């Protein structure tokens, strides 16, 4: 009889909420291991692990994110009437901690974290409303070397986690706004072009540029922005004919960043993307996204956000990134296939050997072997314990070859 067959008359099956996932035995452990490997990599690069709450005051979050992200928050009221929200990202929480508890440094601060985030968004097109993220924030460092370190660290963490065939798309948050600035567009036309670019609507971009004084070079780049991707050579191509200082400065910074990434030996995985459309009100310099052939979504993203800390009264430059653990887990599973559940050795025992079985189980666990001891006598475990000793069962012979030699000797030594 199944659990559903055993339901009392009139009872209903309670399902989970849309956009939220259960992770069963096996996948849950692999997901946790993936997050652990990310954190281990961050710490190996000198980033200190920290924990921030899942809940923040609504006005704290509102100080750090735009209106669109605020509208996607799960909100509720505290017992004293204060408005709270479940965090949809953790960079703002880190900024709050730096401003209130770490404002004396020493800088630069290298901080990392892992935790769940929740977003009140429609659960369509594979979107999760709850997801696990791991990330780093490098606070108090304004140079391009810090941006290069974060990009290289994200790539190193993904490699450590077994995420293969990644591509890092690097852009600059000031390039397209700089183009519009050098084109001399009025505020209304500028906003219209930015909105069209965000929608990747070339027809609307061209219509918005009609009747403006945009020069040929700026017009050419704005209409070609989806194709402005490639290696270092596209920087020289894009610079041709540009008049404004802002877009030139963005291109120069990307050239310097490329050289730094080359020193980190990761330019074989980097594409420059001058048409990258990111949050222009948040990012202030280089930005990046990480993709894999095994995923239709970005596995991670980040960039420079030099104005966020000033909103908390501590003006400091900062850069960082986040890796989406669940998407990375999906990518690994697609490539490696469904993996078997981790091996757990089962110890069975005869009625006169319970204490001996428990002692063997303790010794196996001490050797790092996952081990379950039967609760009643007479079972058929991988290892059978009697008053005269322990031995591998027929079922356990396959497991004997997969355990450490010291563990196999431990079992043999009790015989």
Query: 386-395 burial, b if ≥16 CB within 10 A, otherwise e?
Result: beeebebbee
Query: 224-265: per-residue pLDDT in tens?
Result: 766 788 899 999 888 877 777 888 999 999 999 999 999 999
pLDDT 10s digit of each residue in the chain, 415 long? 344 445 566 666 678 888 888 989 888 999 999 999 999 999 999 999 999 999 999 999 998 887 777 888 999 999 999 999 999 999 999 999 999 999 999 999 999 999 999 999 877 666 789 999 999 999 999 999 999 999 999 999 999 999 999 999 999 999 888 888 877 777 777 778 777 777 777 787 777 777 666 667 777 777 776 678 889 999 988 887 777 788 899 999 999 999 999 999 999 999 999 888 777 778 999 999 999 987 778 999 999 999 999 999 999 999 999 999 999 999 998 877 766 666 889 999 999 999 999 999 999 999 888 999 999 999 999 999 998 889 888 776 665 555 555 566 677 765 4
CA-nearest of 279, 278, 257 to 267 is 257
Residue 7 CB-density burial (10 A; 0-12 exposed, 13-18 middle, 19+ buried): exposed
Q: Provide the pLDDT for residue 5.
A: 45
Peptide bond into 300 cis (omega under 30): no
Q: What is the pLDDT at residue 250? A: 94
Show the domains of the chain with their CATH numbers: 20-164+278-342 (3.30.930.10), 174-276 (no CATH), 345-413 (no CATH)
């Amino acid at each position: 009889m199944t659990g559903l067959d055993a339901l009392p008359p009139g009872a209903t099956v309670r399902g989970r909420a849309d956009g939220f996932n259960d992770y069963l035995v096996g996948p849950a452990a692999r997901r946790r291991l993936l997050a652990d490997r990310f954190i281990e990599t961050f710490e190996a690069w000198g980033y200190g692990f920290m924990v921030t709450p899942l809940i923040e005051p609504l006005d704290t979050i509102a100080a750090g994110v735009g209106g669109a992200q605020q509208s996607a928050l799960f909100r509720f009221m505290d017992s004293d009437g204060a408005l709270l929200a479940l965090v949809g990202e953790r960079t703002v929480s880190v900024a709050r901690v730096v401003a209130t508890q770490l404002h004396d440094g020493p800088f630069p601060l290298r901080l990392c974290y892992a935790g769940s985030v929740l977003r009140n968004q429609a659960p369509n097109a594979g979107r999760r409303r709850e997801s696990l993220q791991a990330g780093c924030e490098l606070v108090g460092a304004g140079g391009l070397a810090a941006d290069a370190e974060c990009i290289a660290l994200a790539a190193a963490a993904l490699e450590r986690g077994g995420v293969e065939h990644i591509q890092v798309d690097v852009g600059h948050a000031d390039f397209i706004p700089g183009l519009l600035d050098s084109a001399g567009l009025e505020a209304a036309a500028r906003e219209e072009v930015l909105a069209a670019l965000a929608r990747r609507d070339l027809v609307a971009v061209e219509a918005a540029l009609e009747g403006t004084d945009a020069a040929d070079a700026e017009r050419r780049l704005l209409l070609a922005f989806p194709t402005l991707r490639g290696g270092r050579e596209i920087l020289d191509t894009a610079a041709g004919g540009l008049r404004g200082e802002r877009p030139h400065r963005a291109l120069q910074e990307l050239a310097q960043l490329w050289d730094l990434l080359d020193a980190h030996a990761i330019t074989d995985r980097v594409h420059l993307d001058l048409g990258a459309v990111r949050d222009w009100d948040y990012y202030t310099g280089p930005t990046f996204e990480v993709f894999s052939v095994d995923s239709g979504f970005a596995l991670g993203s980040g960039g420079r956000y030099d104005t966020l800390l000033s909103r908390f009264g501590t003006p400091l430059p900062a850069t960082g990134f986040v890796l989406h653990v669940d998407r990375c887990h999906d990518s690994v599973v697609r490539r490696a296939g469904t993996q078997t559940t981790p091996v757990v050795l089962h110890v069975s025992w005869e009625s006169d050997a319970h204490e001996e079985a428990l002692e063997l189980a303790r010794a196996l666990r001490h050797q790092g072997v996952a081990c379950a001891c039967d609760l009643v006598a007479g079972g058929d475990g991988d290892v059978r314990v009697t008053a005269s000793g322990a031995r591998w069962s027929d079922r356990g012979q396959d497991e004997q070859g997969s355990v450490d030699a010291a563990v196999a000797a431990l079992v043999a030594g009790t015989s």
